[in-house]
Structure 1
Amino acid sequence: MTLLPTILRKEYEDDKYGILDVHVQMKNGIQIDFEMQVEEFDFWEKRIVFYLSKMITDQLHAGDNYDKIQKCIHVSILDFIHFPGDDRCYRKITLCDTETGEVYTDIMEIYVLELGKLPPEDQNEEGIVRWMRFFNAKNRKELEEMAKQNEYMDEAYQELDRLSADEEKRLEYETRLKYRRDKHAQIHYATRSGREEATDQINALHKQLLELGRLEDLKRAVEDKEYQKKLMKEFGIS
């Protein structure tokens, strides 16, 4: 299995990007897009068809024949009710004859998993429902218990655990980076504030010299910083 880029190729400048959560290619060439969605999403079915179409067309380049197209599957893992008319928690959708139900082609398949419709746990339930329970786990303990019952779930749990550890390292790194940036910003602010204060003092000196008509002193103060300090001391500017 190969993890593919999660942004599909963009053919034209005004094309929309097809952004996928997890996009993989199996050893037999089949591509699968797994996408999890917590909140209800308008036009979800159109969105799925858009992604699947992009996955299909993205496989062909100039001069390629249609035989290069590999099967594409979209798996929607939803934490909202997408089909309110029944209690089926998952369904498989493909292109078929509307009268006979005969499948026209399986080049595109859609699996919709509605976690909110999961029935009470049954020891004899199908594998896909077990995986839905895995996706729907509320805490680490539930994941650990399910991982003990299935070697593939255990493998998935170990990978999740590894990713979680990597995430903790990333957050730790970003925290340190944020600290350094904040420290730098504080120093920059203090430096800028000091410069602004010094500018106010210089302006006050120049104003007094102008009012007194001491133009030669003003000219010399601009050119000679030490003389400028002497005059500021004279006028009590600090």
Structure 2
Amino acid sequence: MKTRQYVSFDWAIKRLLRSKANFGVLAGFLSELLKEDITILEVLESESNKDFKKHKQNIVDLKVKNSKDEIVIIEVQYDRDYSFFHRILWGTSRVVTEHLHEGDDYLRVHKVISVNLIYFDLGEGEDYIYHGSTSFRGIHKNDVFQLRANEKKDVDKDSVQEVFPEYYLIKINRFDDLAKDTLDEWIYFLKNEEIKPEFTAQGLQEAGRILAYTKLKEEDQIDYNNYIDNRRRETVSFERNSVKGLRKVWKKVWKKENGKLHDQ
């Protein structure tokens, strides 16, 4: 039996999953990724949300919390943007400052975790999920800086790393389609837009009910089809520009090396 067609997650998160009634889908995904129960508080407005049809900045921010009142930002993006890392740095910095009011003690700074679903070819590496955090190492001994017992009580953290933002980079296209656990089931869905009957990951079955293409209103189906067509054109345009750029670079290198040979 043919698997039902589901809409892409990056489109759904902007059009269908912004409703509180559907927060269970996103909460399920984050709970599987972070290995703890997550509650969605609200969708944070960004420039892309205010002007969705232009598809200029493909970022959607979600404010969530866990049992420790940690704030998590999930950024979904699929465009070809080489300012990616600067953008996620700006995003976490913005969240920190927005949630610290004037006169507040710095100990009230919220924990921020940036979860990024990457739908384009970025960097190198064999894995498809990368985690980044801040640690301090000695430049002579290479030891990791640790807090004393009384200092842990003062900052209400077990380690310095827990104070600083953390980053998850999920390279969707690197996934090998072998779902070895419930998180992999989510990655499989994000890549293939399919949900297998045996999948048990939190939020996935709810996603299946909400994101079925055939259940969309006619105007949403039209919008989705246009969205996919635009994304394909953007992909082709990016690839062509990348090839042109490489040709220019190699041409400059060839001229430079050829000039050296003539000078010898």
Q: Quick check: 1:147–1:157 contact (8 Å CA) kept in 2?
A: no
* Alpha-carbon separation, structure 2, partners of 1:71 and 1:94: 12
Unaligned runs of 5+ in 1: 9-17, 175-238
Q: Which has the larger radius of gyration?
A: 1
For each residue in 1:107-155, what CA deviation from the matched residue of structure 2 results, as whole angstroms up to 9, or x when unmatched? 3110000012112415xx24333221121124xxx23x25753353112
* Alpha-carbon separation, structure 2, partners of 1:127 and 1:106: 25
Q: CA RMSD in A?
A: 3.2
Q: Which residue matches 2:187?
A: 132
The 1:57/1:70 distance shift into structure 2, 3 A limit, reads same
TM-score normalised according to structure 1 size: 0.55
The 1:34/1:146 distance shift into structure 2, 3 A limit, reads farther
* Alpha-carbon separation, structure 1, partners of 2:220 and 2:127: 39
Q: 2:117 aligns with which of 65, 71, 77?
A: 77
Q: Find the residue that maps to 1:149 and give its secondary structure.
A: coil
Equivalences for residues 153-168 of structure 1 within 5 A: 153-161=204-212, 168=217
Q: Quick check: 2:43–2:63 contact (8 Å CA) kept in 1?
A: yes
Which amino acid letter does the alignment assign opposite residue 93 of structure 1? G
Q: Which residue matches 2:162?
A: 106
Q: Quick check: 2:135–2:161 contact (8 Å CA) kept in 1?
A: yes
Unaligned runs of 5+ in 2: 1-39, 48-56, 146-158, 224-264
Q: Which residue matches 1:188?
A: none
The 1:97/1:3 distance shift into structure 2, 3 A limit, reads same
Equivalences for residues 201-212 of structure 1 within 5 A: none
* Alpha-carbon separation, structure 2, partners of 1:32 and 1:90: 17
* Alpha-carbon separation, structure 2, partners of 1:164 and 1:21: 25
Equivalences for residues 179-190 of structure 1 within 5 A: none
Q: Find the residue that maps to 1:105 and give its secondary structure.
A: helix
The 1:64/1:27 distance shift into structure 2, 3 A limit, reads same
Q: Which residue matches 1:115?
A: 172
Q: Which has the higher contact order (CA 8 A, sep 6+)?
A: 2
Report the Cα offset of residue 33 of structure 1: 1.8
* Alpha-carbon separation, structure 1, partners of 2:109 and 2:210: 30
Report the Cα offset of residue 77 of structure 1: 0.5
* Alpha-carbon separation, structure 2, partners of 1:146 and 1:39: 31
For each residue in 1:77-130, what CA deviation from the matched residue of structure 2 results, as whole angstroms up to 9, or x when unmatched? 11122221x2111111010124346663223110000012112415xx243332
TM-score normalised according to structure 2 size: 0.50
* Alpha-carbon separation, structure 1, partners of 2:46 and 2:200: 35
Moved more, 48-57 or 100-109: 100-109
Which amino acid letter does the alignment assign opposite residue 135 of structure 2? C
